[in-house]
């Protein structure tokens, strides 16, 4: 009985992920049946030269890279959200609420809009620098030990200032490019191809072992600063390391997808609900998996809900994330 | 405070406002002080005169009205809710007003350049935004209200983004509303805004006594014969009306409604009867100064060769300055939760 109950969330998550992935590959114009997908992907990946059908081009060149980016980006932001929340011991410390996302988006947007001579492959570095700067600004202003609401307020102020700068950068561009606006304001996967996947994937690969290294630190931080110090741990240093890793995760995703608003908030929250008695170590993989699931589902909505118009993914996650956040607040105060 | 010092202080505030206004007119460049003065006195002979009279002056008036409305709205919100962090942008009112305007434009209910239509749409949206925040907040404390306001604002921004994405071609100047700008406002845009903002500011001033009683607590108000619920509802209505008026003039100019009331309360010693006019004057001065800085920055950028459509928006200047002030104040303040 207990094993069934423990396995159920895993099965549901896998089922949701698989279903959303098949839908993401199949839905749209042209509509592709699930059983035809493997053949089309194989046909598309077989490469140049051979005459290929329209379906296989669409699936291989457009939908698959988008799906892969959504999975990678969602997992990265979901994990980053959990790391931030645990490191600051603040359930409201989502990347978009403490300046990390806006900083990353601003840095990348400056590179793109002003056509700075930064190679595409180094955009994740710019994003990382922006994320670290935004987060550091916020935390320095808020000081670490203060209450969630105070950190949140200062985070909102810093984020608002960063977003205002972002809008200013976009408004002095030659021509207002709405897709750029949406991507960097809330997050969008419009027009992602294999190139962008290639730029992001190595950074995620670097980040995975670093995230694994964070796990013991999370256990330490959970004790609280005094207890950690009493046990000989260096809480401040551990916290800094965890924050740096989460900035890396958010920063490398910001280039192709923007901030992916609210994914870093929703995923850890769902993970905690699924494993109410767990701890950070157990939540981390869940948070990554759920982040990927949320992103894929939201991107599906973004692509198909107002067909043929594409909407930004981040708008849908905001519409889902805010009511959930409100419910969490209501439960906590009740 | 002795009467003489009070008079001096008011004179100082008014002089400062006039100086800022003069700086604003000259910040655009192209007109020397003599030309600007002649133009304001009705001389329309030269091109420079006409630029001042038909572009510079309405822009200045827009900035003054927007600032005054935001300052008073913020003061009324903070005092009526007894929450030092309540402000149009943190209670969902401002994001709602922007959403209302864009929705009105999208649905075709509001013609693109109609001042009255924008005002009505902003009013409907602002009221809806405030309602959303109120529903999310439920019965929470001061910090909880801010969190609820941020969440409500994020929800409304999500809708705004969807709306923009649905038909981006209809929103040539959506950025104006998103970030707040007084660029390119002419007298026609002010047709309804001026009496709306002036009228509600005077009404808020008339209600300042009630505001002072409310700030002492609900029991205190009830014992003095003032129904706290009715009074608060009326005052919040006035705050929403003022925020919507500001949004219909200049879009979402942030942080003025949060920071200015603190300065006004500090300078007025906490008495709303002095605080309301002070907040109006200080708010007007703040937005005008921000716009003067924005104009200078636009000129510098244009000289530097950077192409610009809208110039540096006023909202950017207020957001950067306001965030800096807020962070400084929040670090020092002991009133903040935590």
Task: Decide if B90 touches A, using CB distance below 8 A.
Answer: yes
pLDDT single digits (tens) A285-330: 889 999 999 999 998 888 888 777 788 888 888 888 888 877 777 7
Q: Supply the pLDDT for residue B45.
A: 80
Q: How far is A315 from chain B (nearest CA, A)?
A: 4
| Other Cβ atoms within 10 Å of B228 Cβ, number | 18
Between these two residues, B248 and B39, which has the higher pLDDT value? B248
- Cα B127 to Cα B145: distance, rounded to the nearest angstrom: 16
Does B170 fall in a domain? Answer: yes
Total domains in the fold of chain B = 1
Does B35 fall in a domain? Answer: no
Q: Supply the pLDDT for residue B64.
A: 93
Task: Decide if B45 touches A, using CB distance below 8 A.
Answer: no
CATH number for the domain that contains residue A271: 1.10.3470.10
DSSP A36: G
pLDDT at B338 over 50: no
Task: Decide if B131 touches A, using CB distance below 8 A.
Answer: no
DSSP B114: -
Task: Decide if B312 touches A, using CB distance below 8 A.
Answer: yes
Residue of A nearest to B176 (CA): A171
- Cα B11 to Cα B274: distance, rounded to the nearest angstrom: 14
Mapping DSSP to helix (H, G, I), strand (E, B) and coil, where does residue A194 land? helix
Does B32 fall in a domain? Answer: no
pLDDT at B70 over 90: yes
A171 contacts B309? CB cut-off 8 A = yes
Residue of B nearest to A185 (CA): B161
Q: Supply the pLDDT for residue A163.
A: 83
B138 contacts A330? CB cut-off 8 A = yes
Q: What is the DSSP string of A299-319?
A: HHHHHHTTTTS---HHHHHHH
Q: Supply the pLDDT for residue B307.
A: 46
CATH number for the domain that contains residue B235: 1.10.3470.10
> CB pairs below 8 Å between A and B: how many?
169
Domain span at A119: 2-333
B327 contacts A141? CB cut-off 8 A = yes
DSSP A121: G
The predicted model gives B72-82 an average pLDDT of 90
Task: Decide if B140 touches A, using CB distance below 8 A.
Answer: yes
pLDDT single digits (tens) B94-145: 889 989 988 888 787 777 677 788 888 898 999 999 888 888 877 666 667 7
pLDDT at A159 over 90: no
The predicted model gives B53-63 an average pLDDT of 88
Looking at the partner chain, which of A157, A164, A176 has a beta carbon nearest the beta carbon of B179? Answer: A164
| Mutation to test the B interface, candidates A96, A152, A264, A326, most B Cβ within 10 Å | A326
- Cα B312 to Cα B306: distance, rounded to the nearest angstrom: 11
What confidence tier does B75 reach under pLDDT thresholds 50, 70, 90? very high
A150 contacts B330? CB cut-off 8 A = yes
Task: Decide if B144 touches A, using CB distance below 8 A.
Answer: yes
pLDDT single digits (tens) B229-254: 888 889 889 999 999 999 888 888 88
Residue of B nearest to A141 (CA): B327
B136 contacts A186? CB cut-off 8 A = no
Give A311's contacts (C-beta < 8 A, 6+ positions apart).
A301, A302, A305, B161, B162, B165, B166
pLDDT single digits (tens) A70-87: 999 999 999 999 988 888
Q: Supply the pLDDT for residue B337.
A: 45
Task: Decide if B323 touches A, using CB distance below 8 A.
Answer: yes
Which helix (H) or strand (E) segment holds residue A241: the answer is: helix A235-257
CA-CA-CA-CA torsion for A62, A66, A68, A69, nearest 10 degrees? 140
Does B26 fall in a domain? Answer: no
The predicted model gives A32-36 an average pLDDT of 81
Q: Which residues of B touch A171 (CB under 8 A)?
A: 175, 179, 308-310, 312-313
Domain span at B152: 57-332
Q: Which residues of A touch B324 (CB under 8 A)?
A: 161
């Amino acid at each position: 009985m207990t094993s069934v109950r423990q396995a159920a969330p895993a099965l549901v998550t896998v089922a949701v992920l698989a279903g959303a992935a098949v839908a993401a590959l199949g839905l749209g114009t042209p509509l592709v049946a699930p059983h035809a997908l493997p053949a089309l992907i194989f046909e598309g990946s077989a490469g140049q030269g051979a005459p290929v059908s329209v379906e296989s081009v669409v699936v291989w060149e457009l939908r698959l890279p988008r799906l892969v980016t959504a999975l990678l980006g969602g997992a990265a932001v979901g994990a980053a959200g959990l790391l931030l929340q645990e490191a600051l011991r603040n359930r409201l410390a989502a990347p978009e609420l403490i300046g990390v996302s806006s900083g990353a988006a601003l840095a990348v947007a400056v590179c793109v809009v002003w056509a700075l001579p930064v190679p595409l492959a180094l955009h994740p570095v710019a994003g990382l620098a922006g994320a670290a700067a935004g987060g550091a600004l916020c935390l320095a202003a808020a000081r670490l030990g203060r209450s969630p609401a105070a950190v949140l307020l200062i985070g909102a102020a810093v984020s608002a200032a960063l977003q205002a700068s972002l809008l200013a950068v976009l408004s002095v561009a030659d021509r207002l490019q709405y897709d750029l606006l949406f991507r960097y304001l809330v997050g969008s996967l419009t027009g992602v191809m294999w190139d962008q996947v290639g730029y992001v994937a190595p950074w995620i690969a670097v980040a995975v072992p670093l995230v694994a290294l964070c796990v013991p630190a999370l256990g330490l931080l959970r004790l609280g600063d005094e207890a950690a110090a009493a046990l000989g741990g260096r809480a401040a240093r551990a916290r800094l390391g965890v924050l740096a890793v989460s900035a890396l995760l958010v920063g490398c995703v910001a280039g192709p997808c923007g901030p992916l608003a609210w994914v870093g908030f929703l995923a850890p929250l769902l993970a905690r609900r699924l494993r109410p008695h767990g701890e950070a170590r157990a939540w981390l993989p869940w948070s990554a998996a759920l982040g990927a699931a949320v992103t894929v589902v939201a991107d599906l909505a973004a692509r198909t809900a107002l067909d043929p118009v594409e909407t930004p993914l981040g708008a849908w996650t905001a519409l889902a994330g805010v009511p959930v956040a409100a419910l969490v607040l209501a439960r906590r105060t009740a | 405070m002795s009467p003489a010092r009070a008079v001096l202080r008011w004179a100082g505030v008014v002089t400062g406002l006039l100086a800022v206004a003069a700086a604003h007119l000259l910040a655009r460049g192209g007109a020397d002080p003599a030309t600007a003065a002649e133009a304001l006195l009705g001389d329309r002979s030269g091109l420079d005169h006409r630029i001042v009279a038909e572009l510079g002056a309405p822009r200045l008036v827009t900035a003054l009205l927007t600032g005054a409305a935001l300052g008073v709205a913020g003061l009324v919100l903070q005092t009526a809710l007894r929450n030092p962090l309540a402000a149009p942008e943190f209670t969902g009112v401002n994001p709602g007003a922007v959403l209302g305007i864009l929705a009105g434009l999208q649905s075709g209910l509001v013609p693109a350049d109609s001042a009255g239509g924008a005002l009505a749409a902003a009013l409907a949206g602002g009221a809806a935004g405030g309602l959303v925040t109120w529903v999310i907040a439920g019965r929470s404390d001061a910090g909880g209200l801010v969190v609820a306001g941020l969440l409500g604002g994020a929800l409304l921004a999500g809708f705004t983004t969807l709306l923009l994405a649905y038909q981006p071609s209809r929103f040539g100047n959506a950025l104006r509303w998103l970030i707040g700008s007084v660029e390119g406002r002419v007298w026609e845009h002010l047709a309804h805004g001026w009496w709306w903002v002036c009228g509600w500011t005077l009404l808020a001033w008339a209600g300042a006594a009630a505001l002072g009683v409310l700030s002492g607590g609900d029991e205190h108000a009830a014992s003095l014969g003032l129904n706290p619920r009715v009074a608060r509802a009326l005052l919040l209505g006035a705050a929403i009306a003022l925020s919507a008026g500001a949004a219909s003039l200049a879009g979402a100019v942030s942080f003025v409604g949060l920071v200015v009331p603190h300065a006004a309360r500090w300078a007025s010693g906490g008495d709303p009867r002095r605080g309301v006019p002070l907040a109006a004057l200080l708010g007007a001065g703040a937005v005008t100064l921000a716009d003067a800085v924005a104009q200078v920055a636009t000129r510098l950028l244009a000289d530097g060769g950077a192409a610009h459509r809208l110039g540096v928006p006023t909202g950017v200047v207020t957001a950067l300055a306001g965030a800096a002030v807020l962070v400084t104040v929040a670090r020092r303040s002991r009133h903040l939760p935590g």
